Structure 1
Amino acid sequence: MNKKELRQKQIECLKNYAATAAKELDDLILLKKLMNLKLLQHSQRIGVTSSLPYEVDTSNLIANLWEQGKEVYLARSYNNREHTQDFVAYNYNSKVAKSKFGVEEVVDTNAKVNNELDLIIVPGVAFALDSKQRIGFGGGYYDRFLAKHPHTPTIALANRKMIFAHMSWQAEKTDIPLKTIITPHEI
């Protein structure tokens, strides 16, 4: 199965999983594990994406980061040929709107852009534990960004439906492996 086919299969699987108690429990466990990580505790500027309903929920993560006085930056994609993105300062007063992907992004053109982050929480629909590769949403936004910022630590939050022990898809030369994948259970 190629990446595009697996991506579509995964999105359908995750949509079915989205309204279950098991997903809610996974989200809570993942949040707790992430908040207990020393890397997160020592990070001040954190990049994250506002999650879609079938992804691991980032709303509680963002609220926890704000409570701890951390700077939160939401990914903002640009509708250009290069499929680029920046991370934009996000707080309680930020104006947001849904992007063409359905993800909330900061729309204030005067909001501070900061791509020199201490940590990035990277989204995706499938994560291979052996290679730390991921399948995202197909635009290459994160891979392009991470290629330009190779020293920024990356973490993915993967619920039980997103986890693959071994990479069952062909990685492309532009795919950037993650540094850490957090799962709801011990592997």
Structure 2
Amino acid sequence: MEKSELRKEQISKLKEFANTKEKRAEDAILLEKLMSTDLIRRSQTIGVTASLPLEVDTSELIARLWDKGKEVYLAKARGDQNHTLDFLRYTYMSKLVKSKFGVEEVADEDAKINNDLDLVIVPGLAFALDTHVRLGFGGGYYDRFLAKHDPKTVALANSKMTFDTSIWPIEKTDIPVQTIVTPDKIY
């Protein structure tokens, strides 16, 4: 299946799932599983994206990371032709603004940038459990970032996001995620 076709299907499926009790329950399970991992215990600087409603909710995760004294950095897509991504320091005092993609980003252009993170929580629409490749939103921001930097990576994938194997074409520029947390198991 072509990536663009699967993207449309996944977005539709995830939007439908977004306001269900099942999704809220799975989000809570994913949060607890991730928070109990060594990945979180051993990481001080953590990059994350402010989630869209169709994604696994990261708002509680961010609050829990702050409670544990972790430094949180929010992804910010740069408006350049290279589709670059930076991670800006995010505190409870930070002002946020919606990007052209509808994602909340740190508004302060002078916020500390840290692209040498201990851990990055990588978003996506679909994840192949066997190869750990992901289908993102199509901009290539995370693949470019991960090709240039080398943090530990983890993805939170609810039951609608997981595939036993990739049904989409894998390209040489696709960077697999190291760890995938699902409601049932950690891969």
Q: Sort the TM-score into its range (normalised by shorter chain).
A: over 0.9
CA displacement 1:67-95 (0-9 Å, x = unmatched): 01100000000111100010000001101
Give 1:166's aligned amino acid: T
- What is the match of residue 165 of structure 1? 164
**Superposition CA RMSD, Å:** 0.8
Q: What pairs up with 1:70-109 in 2 under 5 angstroms?
A: 70-109=70-109
**Residue 127 of structure 1 pairs with residue 127 of structure 2:** yes
Q: How many Å apart are 1:99 and its aligned residue?
A: 0.2
CA distance in 2, matches of 1:181, 1:149: 19
5+ residue gaps, structure 2: none
- What is the match of residue 15 of structure 1? 15
- What is the match of residue 179 of structure 1? 178
Q: What pairs up with 1:21-32 in 2 under 5 angstroms?
A: 21-32=21-32
Give 2:109's aligned amino acid: T
**SS across alignment from 2:127:** strand
Give 2:102's aligned amino acid: G
CA distance in 2, matches of 1:186, 1:68: 24
Q: What pairs up with 1:102-117 in 2 under 5 angstroms?
A: 102-117=102-117
Q: How many Å apart are 1:149 and its aligned residue?
A: 1.1
Q: How many Å apart are 1:42 and its aligned residue?
A: 1.0
5+ residue gaps, structure 1: none
Give 2:170's aligned amino acid: A
**SS across alignment from 1:108:** coil
**SS across alignment from 1:46:** strand
Q: How many Å apart are 1:109 and its aligned residue?
A: 1.1
Q: Percent identity?
A: 62
CA distance in 1, matches of 2:69, 2:179: 23
- What is the match of residue 46 of structure 1? 46
CA distance in 2, matches of 1:113, 1:184: 32
TM-score for both structures, normalised by structure 2: 0.98
**Residue 64 of structure 1 pairs with residue 27 of structure 2:** no
Q: How many Å apart are 1:127 and its aligned residue?
A: 0.3
**SS across alignment from 2:39:** helix
CA distance in 2, matches of 1:97, 1:128: 32
Give 1:177's aligned amino acid: P
Q: How many Å apart are 1:186 and its aligned residue?
A: 3.1
**SS across alignment from 2:124:** coil
CA distance in 1, matches of 2:41, 2:4: 36
CA distance in 2, matches of 1:89, 1:157: 21
Q: Provide the aligned length of Structure 1 versus Structure 2.
A: 186
TM-score for both structures, normalised by structure 1: 0.98
CA distance in 2, matches of 1:29, 1:95: 29
- What is the match of residue 145 of structure 1? 145
CA distance in 2, matches of 1:7, 1:185: 24
**SS across alignment from 2:52:** coil
